[in-house]
Amino acid sequence: TGENAPTPFTVAVSSIVVTTTADEDDGAPDPNTGAGTSLREAINYTNSGSAGPNPEITFDAAVFGTAQTITLNGTQLPAITQNVTIAGPAPGLTISGNNASRIFEIYNGATVTISGLTLQDGVANRGGAIKSNGTLTVTGCIIQDNVSTGSFNDGGGIMQDGPHPTNTLTISETVFRRNSARLGGGLYSDGTMTVTKVVFSDNVASVAGGGIYSGPNAVVTNCLFIGNTASNPGTPGGSGIYVFNGDITVTNCSFSGNNASGSNNGGTIQIRKAPIGSASLNLRNSILWGNSGGELSDSGGSGATMTVSNSIIQGGWTGSGSNNLDEDPLFSSATDLHLLPCSPAIDAGDNTVAPPDDLDGNNRPFDATGTGTATVDMGAYEYPFTVGPNHPCDCYANGIVYVNANASGGAEDGASWGRAFTDLQDALALANTCPTVTEIWVAEGVYKPTSGTDRNASFSMQNDLAIYGGFEGTETQLS
């Protein structure tokens, strides 16, 4: 009669597992239907509320235990409307927009965490890989080769739209590389943003903000900006960061090799205040060196406030702030911004604003100079070894000593072109006492064994020491 028939019920689950690399949607997340449970089906399922509150999407280790790629079928994944965590196994899992669509979109009101994924080849008008109107956290991801297109092409990698009262963006331990857009080649934010331990490399903005375009409020800590570009002549710049009508605090970051190539230059960090509003930059414990188009700029003299403290600024800084240097930071190389042992950035920062560790995860501060008092370094990387008066040879860990007869104003210890010896004899004497020195690079000029009249004076070389000459005094490679 049906009188004793069981009452139908559903069981809400807190986790759903993706079991296939196929981008399909057969209307059900059942792994026994179609190719299995796809990421597209999993998002649809969590959007429906059937997975319960605050569900997690994970990936089957049997399928995704090795590097895999999910290639979207020409349309972006379903816009995320509910709270969800998408936990990838590692950046070895790639989600590709197939150069045809955006990858993720987050609606206002949703709180979303995305981790352990590589997001690449996304293409869209605003936010090549991700567009967010909600609360978004991204950690442990690689965002690469994405493009924002169209008339409002902002945020090549991620575009945070807004502002909304709950629209926040938090990014950590992530890499943005080779993304492009009009504004914000790597990242565009029009809300509240916190960026920690993030690398921005080789991103391009055709107008402003090669690495980041920042709006109302941003905190950027322990980040690396290298090889980013703001490229359109005559427009604003900010090859590393462009700030419009907002406040930004930048702490323990390193900027090098960035290019604001337009005729309006614009600097590595550029800030602009609108006629109604305010804008401020607080730069601390950071290094801006080896960039083109200038280092710091108030766009068009807008009246923005800039304060710089305990930082190395190429060309110097005469504005508000204190304890700044205009001295070669001695990066390991043009592409490796770790500090060499004799870097003036070592133990030169401000402990009161220092983060607890660096981009590599090394503890801050570290007493590198052996004084008994630990002081934080400038830049994204803390030098984790002891150097100082008792370890002079550590200054030449790269094996090279520099000589330039026309050098002036440097420390003249041979640790870099900016600190070059002016006398070749000084370099040879150092090489005789420091076994780490294997090469001497000599700038073009005239060098004599003595400045006096001793006819017996000569240049004496130790075994296994190479001397190269004819340099202009700026080179980083032999050829």
pTM to 2 decimals? 0.83
**Cβ-based burial of 393 (10 A; exposed 0-12, middle 13-18, buried ≥19):** middle
| DSSP 8-state assignment for residue 78 | P
SS3 per residue for 92-116: CEEEECCCCCCCEEECCCCEEEEEC
Backbone phi, psi, residue 204, to 5°: -130, 130
The H or E element spanning position 232 is: none
Among candidate residues 319, 299, 298, 301, the one with its CA nearest the CA of residue 309: 319
For 274, the token pair is 């609108």
Residue 368 CA from chain centroid, whole number: 24
DSSP secondary structure string for all residues of 202-238: S-EEEEE-SSEEE-SEEEEES-EEES-EE--TTS---
Collapsing DSSP states into helix, strand and coil, what is residue 432? helix
- Residues forming a β-bridge with 218: 193, 248
Sheet hosting strand 180-183, strand order edge to edge: 123-124, 147-148, 180-183, 204-208, 229-230, 259-260
For 409, the token pair is 């104003």
- Residues forming a β-bridge with 449: none
- Show me where the domains of the chain are located: 15-313, 391-479
CA angle 187, 193, 197 (to 5 degrees): 75
CA angle 63, 97, 114 (to 5 degrees): 65
The class of domain 15-313 in CATH terms is mainly beta
Whole-angstrom Cα distance, residue 141 to residue 135? 17
pLDDT computed for residue 232 by the predictor: 67
Residue type at position 7:
T
**Cβ-based burial of 205 (10 A; exposed 0-12, middle 13-18, buried ≥19):** buried
Query: Mean pLDDT of residues grouped by 10 in the chain (479 residues)?
Result: 48 80 87 85 94 93 96 97 95 95 96 98 96 97 96 92 81 98 96 97 95 95 97 76 94 96 72 85 97 86 90 95 92 86 88 98 90 94 75 72 85 81 88 85 92 83 90 89
Whole-angstrom Cα distance, residue 63 to residue 18? 9
- Residues forming a β-bridge with 248: 218, 281
Among candidate residues 138, 156, 137, 134, the one with its CA nearest the CA of residue 147: 156
The H or E element spanning position 332 is: none
For 337, the token pair is 């911004």
| DSSP 8-state assignment for residue 204 | E
How many CB atoms are located within 10 Å of the residue 433 CB? 10
**Omega within 30 of 0 (cis) for the link into 163:** yes
Query: Rg of the chain over CA atoms, in angstroms?
Result: 27
Collapsing DSSP states into helix, strand and coil, what is residue 45? helix
The H or E element spanning position 391 is: none
Whole-angstrom Cα distance, residue 229 to residue 267? 10
Residue type at position 260:
A
For 357, the token pair is 């560790």
Among candidate residues 175, 184, 185, 247, the one with its CA nearest the CA of residue 218: 247
